[in-house]
Chains A and B, each alone.
Chain A
Amino acid sequence: MTAAIAPPLPAIEAGQAVEVIVGFIRAQLAQTGFRRTVIALSGGVDSATVAFLCARAVEADDLLTVRMPYLTSSPASETDALRVVEALGCRSERVEITPMVAPMLELIGRGDSAAERVRRGNVMARQRMIVLYDRSVTFDALVVGTSNKTEALLGYGTLHGDMACAFAPIGDLYKSQLRAIAVELGVPPQIVEKAPSADLWPGQTDEAELGASYELLDRVLYALVDRRWSVARCVAAGLDRAVVEAVAQRVARNEFKRQTPPVAKISLRTPGIDHLYPRRRPGSRRS
């Protein structure tokens, strides 16, 4: 018997995926009683794609995009973000986070090791969350998440930072699948084609940080998660053992980021354990 070849990521028929996601966004708004959405626009393909999806679900005037650069953010990112604003004709705001983040880092201490860089990145991501949730009040909107499935599975995101949102329209799409969706939606090609980066420090790229290309990471994740293959089967099918093992470990280690924290069961009925309700039901919609 010849060894099976590791399955490629399935091609996405973007039109149908967009129809389903736009319907999902509309339903989330209708079920909660909101009309407006607010998102953080980085200039990357994820947030650009989410902006384009929101623009299909709501009027351009009901979509607020917020650019929140830090001192070290690449000016090219902001240029790309503005391309999205221009293409959609949506509302746009710029809130620089440097004057908020710099004094905080002074107060709580700073360094320059790799761990310190992660820590600084977390402070920036959480500061952006604070601004975004503040705008959700002033703009009367729901915060739309921009995290994708690759990030969620690998834990490549900041808890209570960029992961914070009311709902996640692209949370079940791998990074490599997003390109097809972005092209279908008409996201400017400069944004679709550039190297993905969290842009937390100059020259940072996701793929350098994650240690493999998104194409390979997504193939491994698809085999492990969607197809339920074992590590051994992935390796037998030609995927690199070191990458497969590292990915499997990362998925396990970051399980906590994908779940609500456990509650110590003390009472007769406990939210999340045996007090189980859908988020949206009669009475949950704001009046």
Chain B
Amino acid sequence: MDYRIALVQVAPRLGDLEANLELAADRIRAADREGAQLVCFPELALSGYLLQDLVPEVALRADDPRLGALSRVVAGMAVAVGFVEETDAHRYCNSLALLRDGELLGLHRKVYLPTYGLFDEGRFTSAGDRIRTTAVGAPLGRIGLSICEDFWHPSLPMLQALDGASLLVNVAAGPARAPGSAAGTAAIAGWHKMQDTYALLGTVAVAFCNRVGNEEGLTFWGGSRLLAADGSLVAEAPLYEEALVVGTLETDDLRVQRYALPLLADERLELTRRELDRIITERAGLPPPEGPMDAPARHSAGGRAAGERA
């Protein structure tokens, strides 16, 4: 079954919530004219990126009626939009909401906040602590939401693929570094490699929506992409320019791909968990866990317990 996804590559206005809500509503209508069933906006599309102490001023609660209203602009259309979220505990998170017809289907709080080099996110926002997938109904089933830096940690997309996602949506505010040099080209190529790899290894479709425009000295590079579950490129937006690109996923491709390449089915989660437990213990400097799992001689190569099949 065909499923149409729009990637809206916009330049939000820094700190101007009302203007950005208006911009988003306008683009939702444009995506509807293109027949999209899901429309994705970039990271912090409702607030802009370099907020610093503006964070509390532009924050919304996840149940804010303005978010609901945005998802009712077009009936039946799912909207993924980035915003600053104020939680019940007054934490401020860099969040991505997935809404439809006024209902909040899912919410992801950015887990990995880059606070190095040109990034200072951990100074102003709190990290999320959940990696989940969101049920959206047929034909997609479940979507894994993530935000920018989250994709630089492969555990996150792979967990979402294992948790049943047929589509990974990663939204970004990626600033260009060294544009016009080999290093700049390599930085963008790095993003492409990640997306291609997650599609291939997760046997999952990938939608990447990056913003454009300028804030202070930063230029955001755009280049949004939609990949099918076999890693093939379905749609791509230009670099640096505002754009709305739409692509169609054939959801039966997922069934075919997962039979042809049953990586998720073969994944040995119990083994992964045992080794993770060991690594966590060792990194914390604690004594090694006791028990037979620690003895390498007992590991039967190629053997697979029935319970280990995903």
CB distance from B269 to the nearest CB of A (A): 39
Chain A residues with Cβ below 8 Å from B187 are none
A27 at the interface (CB under 8 A from B): yes
**Are B181 and A11 within 8 A (Cβ)?**
yes
B180 at the interface (CB under 8 A from A): yes
Chain B interface extent, by class: 20 to 34
A12 at the interface (CB under 8 A from B): yes
A279 CA to B215 CA in the complex, in Å?
9
**A278 and B219 in contact, given A13-B181, A14-B180, A20-B240 (Cβ under 8 angstroms):** no
Contact digits for A116-146, partner B, Cβ 8 Å, 1 yes 0 no: 0000000000000000000000000000000
**Are B15 and A281 within 8 A (Cβ)?**
yes
**A20 and B180 in contact, given A278-B15, A278-B216, A282-B15 (Cβ under 8 angstroms):** yes
B290 at the interface (CB under 8 A from A): no
Point out the residue from A17, A277, A278 that lies within 8 Å of B215, measured CB to CB: A278
Q: Number of A interface residues, CB 8 Å?
A: 25
Chain B residues with Cβ below 8 Å from A280 are 14, 215-216
CB-CB nearest in chain B for A16: B180
**Are A16 and B179 within 8 A (Cβ)?**
yes
CB-CB nearest in chain A for B218: A24
Chain B residues with Cβ below 8 Å from A282 are 13, 15-16
CB distance from A272 to the nearest CB of B (A): 11
CB distance from B242 to the nearest CB of A (A): 11
A186 CA to B178 CA in the complex, in Å?
22
Complex interface residues of chain A between 31 and 72 (CB less than 8 A to chain B): 31
A275 at the interface (CB under 8 A from B): yes
B129 at the interface (CB under 8 A from A): no
**Are A276 and B180 within 8 A (Cβ)?**
no
CB-CB nearest in chain A for B179: A20
CB-CB nearest in chain A for B183: A10
**Are B179 and A275 within 8 A (Cβ)?**
no
Complex interface residues of chain A between 12 and 26 (CB less than 8 A to chain B): 12-20, 23-24
Chain B residues with Cβ below 8 Å from A277 are 52-54
**Are B53 and A11 within 8 A (Cβ)?**
no
A12 CA to B53 CA in the complex, in Å?
36
**Are B180 and A24 within 8 A (Cβ)?**
no
Complex interface residues of chain A between 251 and 287 (CB less than 8 A to chain B): 275-282
B42 at the interface (CB under 8 A from A): no
**Are B52 and A23 within 8 A (Cβ)?**
no
Chain A residues with Cβ below 8 Å from B184 are 16
**Are A23 and B180 within 8 A (Cβ)?**
no
**Are A11 and B52 within 8 A (Cβ)?**
no
B231 at the interface (CB under 8 A from A): no
Chain B residues with Cβ below 8 Å from A281 are 14-16, 54
Contact digits for B183-212, partner A, Cβ 8 Å, 1 yes 0 no: 111000000000000000000000000000
Chain B residues with Cβ below 8 Å from A23 are 214, 219, 240
CB distance from B67 to the nearest CB of A (A): 20
**Are A279 and B214 within 8 A (Cβ)?**
no
B182 at the interface (CB under 8 A from A): yes
**A20 and B182 in contact, given A278-B51, A278-B216 (Cβ under 8 angstroms):** no
CB distance from B171 to the nearest CB of A (A): 21
**Are B179 and A278 within 8 A (Cβ)?**
no
A277 CA to B58 CA in the complex, in Å?
13
B106 at the interface (CB under 8 A from A): no
**Are A12 and B180 within 8 A (Cβ)?**
yes
Contact digits for B5-16, partner A, Cβ 8 Å, 1 yes 0 no: 000000001111
Chain B residues with Cβ below 8 Å from A10 are 178, 181-183
CB distance from A34 to the nearest CB of B (A): 15
Chain B residues with Cβ below 8 Å from A275 are 53
B285 at the interface (CB under 8 A from A): no
Complex interface residues of chain B between 107 and 140 (CB less than 8 A to chain A): none
Point out the residue from B50, B180, B214, B239 that lies within 8 Å of A17, measured CB to CB: B180
A80 CA to B279 CA in the complex, in Å?
66
Complex A-B: 11 CB contacts under 8 Å: A10-B182, A12-B180, A13-B180, A16-B184, A20-B176, A20-B219, A24-B219, A28-B214, A31-B14, A31-B214, A277-B53
Given contacts A13-B181, A16-B239, 19 further A-B contacts (CB under 8 A): A10-B181, A12-B180, A13-B180, A15-B180, A16-B179, A16-B180, A17-B179, A18-B180, A20-B176, A23-B214, A24-B214, A24-B219, A27-B213, A277-B54, A278-B14, A279-B216, A281-B14, A281-B16, A282-B15
